[in-house]
Amino acid sequence: MISARSKTLLTAALLVALSTAGPGLPAAAADADASFLAQVEDLPLAPGLAEGDGGFTFDKPDGRIVEAYAVGRVTGAEVMSFYREALPQLGWREVPARPGAVFLRGAERLTIETAQQAAGRLVVHFVLAPEAGPAGRPVD
């Protein structure tokens, strides 16, 4: 668990990094107060997103599995731009993937997919899982 002080410092560092990121980052990202997913304390929510219902957390011997959703009236491009800028600063590295985006950090894999719905509402699906299963086999 991340302490409240660590979370505050992480938020401040993220906001400073985003505010100096340059013109490629959506303006809202630099100005927003960072909030984080409830199940993944160091995974920020992109500006314009609010955590949705329907997620779960499962702890297993080789790591945790977390599924979470967020919704908002933003575009998939804005959301992916935010995560491609913010996550490397938090220790994640992106690996090629289709659809969505896949990031690795240590022994964990984070998959982010977006789906545009009616009336401009975007649903973002996050899956955090161990990178390798038993005997070092990749997790599908």
State pLDDT tens for residues 41-76.
899 999 999 999 888 998 888 889 999 999 999 999
Q: What is the DSSP letter of 33?
A: P
Domains of the chain (ranges; CATH) run 4-136 (3.30.310)
When pLDDT is averaged across residues 2-30 and rounded to a whole number, the result is 38
- 103-136 pLDDT, tens digit per residue, is 999 999 999 999 999 888 999 999 999 987 544 4
pLDDT at 132: 72
Give the H or E element holding residue 5. Answer: helix 4-19
Q: Are 72 and 50 in contact (CB under 8 A)?
A: yes
The sign of the CA dihedral 19, 50, 56, 98 is negative
- 82-96 pLDDT, tens digit per residue, is 999 999 999 999 998
Does the predicted TM-score (pTM) go above 0.85?
no
